[in-house]
Copies of this chain bind each other. A is one copy, B any other.
């Protein structure tokens, strides 16, 4: 039974360590589908993970961020580093929303064992998109990929949060997308460690750069405060070195389709990586990430436990009462918890 044999946590974890791509693909499928193997597998892989540098790339549709991700991946390969790509963007060619040109460019990446691309379904994950993405990143990290690029569309709440929990977050802008799309920026700018103004050969690129500079000059609200205000576990954080306040997000002009500005962008990512390590900020960020993961898992495990202990008839009666407004859902939740002794 060769198939059944590989389908154990130990065998999959070993396969991952040995660079077996089939084991990697299987492991990711287990995690995405939430099979019974998913949790023990993630538990086994977790200690192996933590070495990759996680790079979030986010921006509105039409900014060309997929091509940018593609270019960054190739540039990293030229420097001898292995790269994982996780696409959480319904408009990305990696996830299926592709122009022909993009599909052709993707061939640059195919067949290279030092690259692994995975696109996330935007719906259907049991614990939600954020947790499914975090889990897939753990698998790629444990498999030894040195840089992991996480591409999300900078419009939805979950998608922005996914990108912003990376070590380095790149916000991609493009000139001339129209005011409607520009407005998206408001909520996304504050999470940037690095800006890329892509399609920089278009008219208005300098205006976009100037606008970003002005905004940075005005002082951006602290990223960590915004991201974690009231949303995470209360967790004591190690004090930050004074250097922590000294990172000013650089602004790069790029033309991803012509591979222009990519090397400089990559240099900035690596500079940010060193900065995080030397200032102690990486430790800080890993702690917030751990707290966030723990929180997501706790919520799901708790809910599953309570639902397991509740007879379907009782659940059904409560849902019916709420639907008919005879009971409010807050009181219903309390009744459920009281009866299951949680």
Contacts and interface: CB of A to CB of B under 8 A. Distances in A.
Given A123-B161, A297-B333, A302-B303, 16 more contacts: A39-B330, A42-B330, A43-B328, A43-B331, A50-B325, A60-B61, A90-B186, A123-B187, A124-B229, A233-B319, A235-B315, A235-B319, A294-B318, A294-B329, A298-B337, A301-B337
A179 interface: yes
Interface string A22-52: 0000000000001000011011111101100
A299 B233 CA distance: 14
A215 interface: no
Chain A interface, DSSP helix/strand/loop, else mixed:
helix
Contacts of A39: 330
Interface in A169-224: 178-184, 186-187
Contacts of A334: 301
15 contacts: A46-B329, A50-B325, A61-B155, A61-B181, A62-B178, A91-B180, A91-B181, A124-B230, A286-B323, A294-B332, A294-B336, A295-B303, A297-B333, A299-B299, A302-B303
Given A61-B181, A302-B337, A318-B294, A234 B124 contact: no
B184 A283 contact: no
Contact of A305 (B128, B320, B342): B342
A330 B297 contact: yes
Given A91-B180, A316-B235, A336 B298 contact: yes
A169 to B, nearest CB: 14
Given A61-B61, A186-B97, A290-B319, A328 B46 contact: yes
Contact of A183 (B96, B183, B291, B331): B96
Contacts of A181: 61-62, 91
Nearest to A44: B328
Contacts of A180: 61-62, 91, 97, 99
Contacts of A60: 61
Nearest to A297: B333
Nearest to A315: B233
Nearest to A93: B183
Given A39-B330, A156-B153, A342-B342, A183 B90 contact: yes
Nearest to A48: B325
A179 B97 CA distance: 8
Given A158-B156, A234-B307, A322 B302 contact: no
Contacts of A291: 319, 322-323
Given A155-B156, A231-B126, A306-B302, A294 B333 contact: yes
Contacts of A298: 303, 306, 333, 336-337
Interface in A97-131: 97-99, 122-124, 126, 128-129
A91 B183 CA distance: 5
Nearest to A326: B47
Given A61-B184, A298-B303, A325-B47, A128 B156 contact: no
